[in-house]
Amino acid sequence: MGETTDVACRQCGGAMEATVRHQNNLLLQTLGVIFVLTGLLVLGSAGLALIGGLAAFAGGDRSGVAVLAAEAMGTAIGAALLVGGARLGHKKSRVWQCAACGYFYERL
């Protein structure tokens, strides 16, 4: 868009431009990958167990209701880890950036 403002750069006095900066945190990204892998593992095993449990439940076996609930929760936790892990370490921040010297500060 290149939207400019009459705010002058604090360093060189140039025009500031509204832009978005992408910041990646390598440590958090690594943690995110671990979360995603853990999530996949949990989701996979809990999901399979859930299907097996549901089949037994449908077959008239009512003894595994608590186990079934735990498996459903495990599936939800696995999915949450997957989504959370994928987003971890990526940050978008809206900034004003000087076109001349690159100086920037966060937009409110």
Within residues 13-72, the interface with Zn ion by CB under 5 A covers 14
Distance set, CA 42 to CA 47, 48, 72, 83, 108 (Å): 8, 10, 11, 13, 39
9 vs 81 by CB, closer to Zn ion: 9
Q: Which residue has the tokens 């025009």?
A: 15
**Minimum distance, C-beta of residue 10 to Zn ion, in the bound complex (Å):** 8
Query: Which contiguous run of DSSP H or E holds residue 46?
Result: helix 26-58
Tell which one of 33, 54, 103, 107 touches Zn ion (CB under 5 A): 103
**Minimum distance, C-beta of residue 104 to Zn ion, in the bound complex (Å):** 9
33 vs 100 by CB, closer to Zn ion: 100
Distance CA 93, CA 103 (A): 14
8 contributes a contact to Zn ion by CB under 5 A = no
